[in-house]
Amino acid sequence: MCDSGNGCGGRARLARDFLIRDTFIDEARHLKPLAHGIEFGHRAQITQDALHLLYRTHAHKGLSEVVEATGREAFVSRRRYFAAGHISMLACYYGRVQVIPAVDVLGDDAVRLERGDYDRVLFRQPLEDYVTRVLAATEPALLHIVDLQGARDGAFRLEVLSRCQSASGATPLQVSGGIRTPEQAAALLESGATRLIVGTAAFASPDAMTQFVEAVGSALVIAIDVKDGLVATRGWLASSGLTPEEAVERCQQAGVLRIHATAVDRDGTMGGPDLELYRRLCKTGIAVVAAGGVRHMDDVQALEALGCEGAVMGTALAQQLGIV
């Protein structure tokens, strides 16, 4: 490591300019906090202050990576690495846990609800504008789209997918809300969705999950939305009567590879994830994407330690964007 201001030999300034050799990053999955808490994570993208990211290329005598981290900026060149300083918000972290930004849709707008309550809307924004802001801030590998109206009414709206595709460009979309039949799931996949999250319909009959697996294969993700200790359905307004573990057992028997688990009472609260719930689910061996209450890097690291594959952020991201 050397000071980029005068090449090798000078002492690096605190939280300023650093050149980092490829091998140094490649050999260290997680470096200790440096200067103002700057951390670098293997195969991660920058996760600094969401609306103040800049990228630029720099090469100097074989040193091909440059990271400049001041109070509100982070610069990275050819390969992007995680940098978290005073700003604790993260955009996307691709170490072992993938952080997936969430966009919830109600009516024509992007919204966030508190604890899934349709009468407790934390904010409302034009859908395309919000998607654009999220993508500009995070550059995610996957964007999570929830049609809340579809979840409540029983039919995912194809126009929601179309509008999000127009706003997101080539960013893969994970969609959920009101996908009730294998035919609907297949149609969404054919229309361009990358992953499909199915909840209510997956528990409608003993062979329902198997039918969905046959229709869309590994694109299927089963929603395990936990409310009052049981798996909730129909937009979190009804109960399946199953415990989370019983629901996962059904998933494994049907050949489901991945679940999307939400602690409903934490959703939209910024109260932190339900770590005990995710500890139990990860012990089953199925791939777990956690949602509900995820606030910052500490939460993501806690979920990583439990074995979660991914974490969804909604309200925390909206706060960082200055919306709530």
Reported as a single tens digit per residue, the pLDDT across 130-142 is 999 999 988 899 9
User: Which one of 49, 68, 87 terminates a domain?
Assistant: 87
User: Which one of 87, 119, 142 terminates a domain?
Assistant: 87
Reply yes or no on whether the pLDDT at 58 is more than 90.
Answer: no
Reply yes or no on whether the pLDDT at 149 is more than 90.
Answer: yes
Residue ranges making up the domain that contains 180 = 98-320
d(CA 180, CA 200): 7
**CB of 178 within 8 A of CB of 156?**
yes
Helices (H), 169-261: 182-190, 208-216, 244-254
- Asked if residue 82 belongs to a domain, the reply is yes
- Asked if residue 224 belongs to a domain, the reply is yes
pTM for the model stands at: 0.70
Indicate whether 219 and 198 sit together in one domain.
Answer: yes
Beta bridge partner(s), residue 48? none
Classify residue 296 by its DSSP letter.
Answer: S
- Asked if residue 104 belongs to a domain, the reply is yes
Q: Is 207 a catalytic residue?
A: no
- Asked if residue 65 belongs to a domain, the reply is yes
Instruction: Name the active-site residue from 17, 49, 104, 147.
Output: 104
Indicate whether 56 and 107 sit together in one domain.
Answer: no
Indicate whether 116 and 213 sit together in one domain.
Answer: yes
Burial of residue 12 (number of CB atoms within 10 Å: 0-12, 13-18, 19+) = middle
- Amino acid identity of residue 130, one-letter, is Y
d(CA 199, CA 260): 9
From 264, 265, 259, select the one nearest 283 (Cα to Cα).
259
DSSP codes joined into one string, 259-288? EEEEEGGGTTTTS---HHHHHHHHTTTSEE
Average pLDDT value for the chain: 75
Indicate whether 153 and 63 sit together in one domain.
Answer: no
- Asked if residue 244 belongs to a domain, the reply is yes
Higher pLDDT, 243 or 55: 243
- Asked if residue 258 belongs to a domain, the reply is yes
Reported as a single tens digit per residue, the pLDDT across 156-202 is 999 999 999 999 999 999 999 999 999 999 999 999 999 999 999 99
- Asked if residue 279 belongs to a domain, the reply is yes
Reported as a single tens digit per residue, the pLDDT across 94-114 is 457 899 999 999 999 999 888
Indicate whether 197 and 295 sit together in one domain.
Answer: yes
From 220, 226, 237, select the one nearest 267 (Cα to Cα).
226
Indicate whether 102 and 57 sit together in one domain.
Answer: no
Instruction: Name the active-site residue from 17, 49, 147, 225.
Output: 225
Q: Is 104 a catalytic residue?
A: yes
Q: CA quadruple 291, 296, 302, 304: dihedral positive or negative?
A: positive
Indicate whether 150 and 195 sit together in one domain.
Answer: yes
Reply yes or no on whether the pLDDT at 263 is more than 80.
Answer: yes
Residue 95 tokens, joined: 């170490």
Indicate whether 136 and 267 sit together in one domain.
Answer: yes
Mean pLDDT of 42-62: 32
Reply yes or no on whether the pLDDT at 312 is more than 80.
Answer: yes
Indicate whether 222 and 155 sit together in one domain.
Answer: yes
Containing 312, the helix (H) or strand (E) segment is strand 310-313
Indicate whether 228 and 275 sit together in one domain.
Answer: yes
Mean pLDDT of 267-289: 92
pLDDT at residue 95, rounded to an integer: 55
CATH number at residue 283: 3.20.20.70
User: Which one of 87, 122, 153 terminates a domain?
Assistant: 87
Reply yes or no on whether the pLDDT at 31 is more than 70.
Answer: no
Task: Work out how many domains the chain is built from and give that number.
Answer: 2
From 88, 106, 138, 129, select the one nearest 272 (Cα to Cα).
88
- Asked if residue 93 belongs to a domain, the reply is no
Indicate whether 116 and 192 sit together in one domain.
Answer: yes
Phi-psi region of 9 (alpha: psi -120 to 50; beta: other; left: phi over 0): left
Indicate whether 132 and 157 sit together in one domain.
Answer: yes
